[in-house]
Amino acid sequence: MGQTFTAQAPPGNGSDDSHERSLLTSYMAELDTMRAAISDFPNQDPADILSTIAGTAGRLSEMRAQLYRSNSGRCAALRTREVDPLREDLDLQFRIWSRKIALLEWELKLSGGAP
């Protein structure tokens, strides 16, 4: 027969705005933690780095999807200015560190330490 609509709070409602603000604040802090972990890669075992990259990439995908769904300008800005570039950096880091592991394996093989 007819359609049923659900009443929603108008945009800019204080509770929605504060929820979005707290989400963005927590995401920015999490992104800072991820960047700090990336900057510490040279001090870590390369095998551990690949695990960190995989976990971080998965979390960034979750964050990106949530930011995309929110359909707000602030969320879109965080996604395009911080999340997407960090995902690209992780791709570069993966290529660098996987190549480093391949070189370490090659050196080990040349030294007679591996079959």
Whole-angstrom Cα Rg for the chain: 21
- Residue 38 buriedness (CB in 10 A; 0-12 / 13-18 / 19+): middle
CB proximity list for 17: less than 8 A, separation 6 or greater? none
Q: What does the domain layout of the chain look like in residue ranges?
A: 44-115
Task: Quote the pLDDT of residue 19.
Answer: 87
The pLDDT tens digits of the residues spanning 27-38 come to 999 999 999 999
Q: Is the pLDDT of residue 6 over 70?
A: no
Whole-prediction pTM: 0.77
In the chain, alpha helices (H):
14-39, 46-70, 73-78, 84-110
Reported as a single tens digit per residue, the pLDDT across 63-81 is 999 999 988 999 999 999 9
Closest listed residue to residue 48, CA positions, set 58, 59, 38: 38
- What is the per-residue pLDDT for 84? 97
pLDDT > 70? residue 1 = no
Percentage of the chain exceeding pLDDT 90: 70
